[in-house]
Chains A and B, each alone.
Chain A
Amino acid sequence: MEDPTNKENKPCACGSAEGSDKASRRDFLLKLGVGLNVVAGGLVAVPILGYALNSFAEKPDLQWIDLGPIDQFGEGTTRLAVYDNPLKRSWDGGTAEIPCYVRRTTGEDFTVFAINCTHLGCPVRWFEESRLFMCPCHGGAYYEDGSHASGPPPRGLYTYEHKIDTGRLLIKGGILPTLANPNV
């Protein structure tokens, strides 16, 4: 634009007062148009980003989930329990049925483990005989109290917050535990 030989780029070939008047009006309209579209773009971006990043910002509100009467978990045993994801949608299908391991040592002493290996999230399997949780992916193993036994996991199994209310075992669940959010 600054090249003086380039006449074609000038908005008006005539140098009269009327011409420069038109030129400044076009200039104004251009600036106004750009400005209005910046505002419009911002207004469009707010709902689009708000929608798309909703799950980034939102903190799920966790409720207590009933795992059933404590009698179904024998003392000194660990067993699989399945609960319905409290935040489930009607079209979730089988993915809404979340497994966890319930360990009852004695009386009301419970620990509820997430099924996800702390290494990379694969489902660990409980072996009653050797009293170990083994992971099928990279060979992580945990003792019956959830502590790290061998392999690559950086920590012991994730545990659920739990309580016992009128003889029933309740947990807070519905979040996939990761190293960033170990307290499910």
Chain B
Amino acid sequence: MSKTPHIPLQTQAMEAARGVFLWLDDRLKITNLWEHTGGHMIPKSSASWFYVFGSATLLCLMLQLVTGTLLAFVYVPSGAEAYSTLEYLTYEQPLGWFLRAMHYWGSEFMVTIMFLHMTQVFLFGAYKYPREITWISGCILMLVTLGLAFTGQVMRFDEDAYWGLGIGAAIVGRVPFIGEQLVHLMLGGPIIASETLSRFFAIHVFILPGTILALVALHLRMVLTKGINEYPKPGQVVVKETYEKEYAAIIKKEGIPFAPHGIGKDLFAASIVIGGILFCAAFFGPKGPTAPPFPANTDVVPRPDFFFMWIFAVAALMPDWMETFALLAVPPVVILVLFALPFFNGTGEKHFSRRPVAVIIVLLVYTTFGVLTYLGITSPWSPEMRAWTADITPESRVLGRSPLELQGLIVLQNKQCRNCHAIEGIGGKRGPDLADVGMRLTVPQLARQVIQGGGNMPAYGKNLSPYQVDALIAYLSSMVPPGRQPAQDSTIPSKPEPETAQLNLQ
């Protein structure tokens, strides 16, 4: 080295670095690995904006692993401590609130983008031959992700988490024969307690993340062995005998390495996703915790997280007789159909313009889940527990009433009728609005409904004195909108029988 002083130091350094790299590459085979992974060839058409959702979901997972691990630095999964460590994280630990918010919003983004990815894969026919295992591993990834979302809401160990576990146990308890044992297995004992939380913690931070990483490896391995789906064209059909040759020809003709030439849009989408999570975390903050998980506090209205709202709605709206069947048998059937999809629909057209059934399925599924989620959030079937003390009565429903009718209004308010019945939209939505009830029901009908109940209304006969019933019905029958007639019994003619007959004769 001393004999070649004219070589610039920079060149010498580069030579040395090159030597180190070549040595490492010889030992680790990095370039070889790169050619078969990041640098693998993809069809040029697949470097599309529609193909960014998979990598974006993976990005969310990576963020969840980082933020989740950091939260575990502080969080204590114990029934006595979890809630106070959540409060400490939110209010005292520097940036603890932000990490909690990132983990929460990261999960919302992950589930959302995962379903966008699944929808795109379905609409673009990417599940078809020969990508069956890619699809099935993706379906299992979806289930594991939802499992992480459910166990994650238990980690936020507040009253919603506590009663969410109660709902889970109630569903599991409907399993025939071994329901009780399964409930005890799920809860880690006969009742929701600290062991339940420890159990869900182990599932949330060890079992499911380990499973998801293994499945992601399989999912990506399948993308490498069978290639990413080419951008479908109408009229281009999948035939098992020829497809792989056609795909190889596409790669040969217009293949580009995924990195660096095909990854640009993924990177752009990744920055949008990170930006979105950071924005939501900073702007909306973390979710909860709500009140502490004290079951003895009955002043609670348990609600699941957003992505389980639809189940909450289904549980309210299903007819009783099919409920157990729907809760226990339908999910496995749906999952089996999803798994079987590439086998009974593995060939033929891929482009959505030639697959009207696929498009209709997507529209139906999105509409159904959208409506159910909306209903779950508004939950009109739930009584408003505070309506009877907190909700006002509109002035026009008080003015000009007789003393008897006003007594009836007091009965209506005191007997919690408003918890289920609104007046002009104010109050519970479980039963019909009473603003026009005098127009719909006659006095005898009102009396029967109040005393005997029926149509999902409890009977109040035992809880009301005859005087209270009189007053209540007087008030209710006064509830007729201006310019409308009170309800009349169609079976009792307003005029005596003979006169009616004469009228008919004329």
Asked whether B499 is an interface residue with its Cβ less than 8 Å from the other chain, the reply is no
Asked whether B231 is an interface residue with its Cβ less than 8 Å from the other chain, the reply is no
A119 touches B79 (CB 8 A): no
Query: Contact partner of A55 among B187, B419, B458, B463, CB < 8 A?
Result: B187
B316 touches A122 (CB 8 A): no
Q: Give the shortest distance, in Å, between B301 (CB) and chain A (any CB).
A: 4
Asked whether A107 is an interface residue with its Cβ less than 8 Å from the other chain, the reply is no
B191 touches A180 (CB 8 A): no
Interface residues in B170-185 by Cβ distance below 8 A to A read 170-175, 179-185
Stretch binding the partner chain, chosen from B39-47, B61-69, B271-279, B377-385: B377-385
Q: How large is the interface on A (under 10, 10 to 19, 20 to 34, 35 or more residues)?
A: 35 or more
A143 to B457: give the CA distance in the assembly, Å: 11
| Chain A binding surface SS class | loop
Query: Contact partner of A89 among B167, B193, B382, CB < 8 A?
Result: B193
A180 to B456: give the CA distance in the assembly, Å: 25
Stretch binding the partner chain, chosen from B246-254, B289-297, B329-337: B289-297
A92 touches B185 (CB 8 A): no
A124 to B170: give the CA distance in the assembly, Å: 14
- Residues A94 and B381 in contact in the complex (CB < 8 Å), given A176-B191, A180-B173: no
Binary contact readout B371-410 vs A (1 if CB under 8 angstroms, 0 otherwise): 0000000000111010010000000000000000000000
Question: What B residues does A130 contact at CB under 8 A?
Answer: 415-417, 458, 460, 463
Query: Contact partner of A92 among B167, B180, B193, B415, CB < 8 A?
Result: B193
A176 touches B166 (CB 8 A): yes
Asked whether A65 is an interface residue with its Cβ less than 8 Å from the other chain, the reply is no
A99 to B162: give the CA distance in the assembly, Å: 14
Interface centre among A53, A123, A154 (most CB of B within 10 A): A123
| Chain B binding surface SS class | loop
B190 touches A136 (CB 8 A): no
- Residues A179 and B174 in contact in the complex (CB < 8 Å), given A91-B80, A122-B302: yes
Query: Contact partner of B190 among A57, A87, A93, A116, CB < 8 A?
Result: A87
User: For residue A177, which residue of chain B has the nearest CB?
Assistant: B173
A55 touches B185 (CB 8 A): yes
A122 touches B163 (CB 8 A): yes
A95 touches B416 (CB 8 A): no
Asked whether B189 is an interface residue with its Cβ less than 8 Å from the other chain, the reply is yes
User: For residue A60, which residue of chain B has the nearest CB?
Assistant: B190
Interface centre among A80, A127, A143, A179 (most CB of B within 10 A): A179
Asked whether A72 is an interface residue with its Cβ less than 8 Å from the other chain, the reply is no
User: For residue A83, which residue of chain B has the nearest CB?
Assistant: B296
A181 to B172: give the CA distance in the assembly, Å: 11
Query: Contact partner of A99 among B181, B187, B295, B417, CB < 8 A?
Result: B295
A149 to B385: give the CA distance in the assembly, Å: 17
B323 touches A91 (CB 8 A): no
Binary contact readout A107-129 vs B (1 if CB under 8 angstroms, 0 otherwise): 00000000110011111111101
A92 touches B169 (CB 8 A): no
Interface centre among B81, B83, B312, B416 (most CB of A within 10 A): B416
A88 touches B193 (CB 8 A): yes
B458 touches A116 (CB 8 A): no
B194 touches A131 (CB 8 A): no
Asked whether A85 is an interface residue with its Cβ less than 8 Å from the other chain, the reply is yes
Question: What B residues does A89 contact at CB under 8 A?
Answer: 79, 193-195
Asked whether A151 is an interface residue with its Cβ less than 8 Å from the other chain, the reply is yes
B459 touches A149 (CB 8 A): yes
Interface centre among B170, B315, B462 (most CB of A within 10 A): B170
Q: Give the shortest distance, in Å, between B465 (CB) and chain A (any CB).
A: 13
Asked whether B497 is an interface residue with its Cβ less than 8 Å from the other chain, the reply is no
- Residues A178 and B458 in contact in the complex (CB < 8 Å), given A55-B185, A99-B295, A136-B382: no
Asked whether B24 is an interface residue with its Cβ less than 8 Å from the other chain, the reply is no
Asked whether B232 is an interface residue with its Cβ less than 8 Å from the other chain, the reply is no
A97 to B187: give the CA distance in the assembly, Å: 16
A94 touches B79 (CB 8 A): yes
A125 to B384: give the CA distance in the assembly, Å: 12
Asked whether A171 is an interface residue with its Cβ less than 8 Å from the other chain, the reply is no
B179 touches A87 (CB 8 A): no
Binary contact readout B402-437 vs A (1 if CB under 8 angstroms, 0 otherwise): 000000000000111101100000000010000000
Asked whether A146 is an interface residue with its Cβ less than 8 Å from the other chain, the reply is no
A95 touches B194 (CB 8 A): yes
A121 touches B169 (CB 8 A): yes
User: For residue B159, which residue of chain A has the nearest CB?
Assistant: A123
A95 touches B302 (CB 8 A): no
Interface residues in B288-328 by Cβ distance below 8 A to A read 292-296, 298-302, 312, 315-316, 318, 320, 323
Q: List 28 A-B contacts (CB under 8 A).
A: A55-B189, A56-B181, A60-B189, A87-B189, A87-B190, A93-B78, A93-B83, A94-B79, A95-B192, A98-B295, A99-B298, A122-B166, A123-B298, A130-B416, A134-B383, A136-B385, A137-B302, A137-B312, A137-B316, A138-B316, A139-B383, A151-B381, A152-B315, A176-B183, A176-B190, A178-B172, A178-B174, A180-B179
Extra pairs beyond A119-B315, A134-B383, A175-B190 (19, CB < 8 Å): A58-B184, A60-B189, A93-B83, A122-B166, A129-B388, A129-B416, A132-B458, A136-B301, A138-B381, A139-B316, A149-B458, A150-B453, A152-B315, A154-B323, A176-B166, A176-B190, A178-B173, A179-B170, A180-B179
- Nearest first, the 10 A-B pairs at minimum CB distance are A178-B173, A180-B179, A93-B80, A121-B170, A149-B458, A121-B166, A94-B294, A138-B316, A56-B185, A180-B180
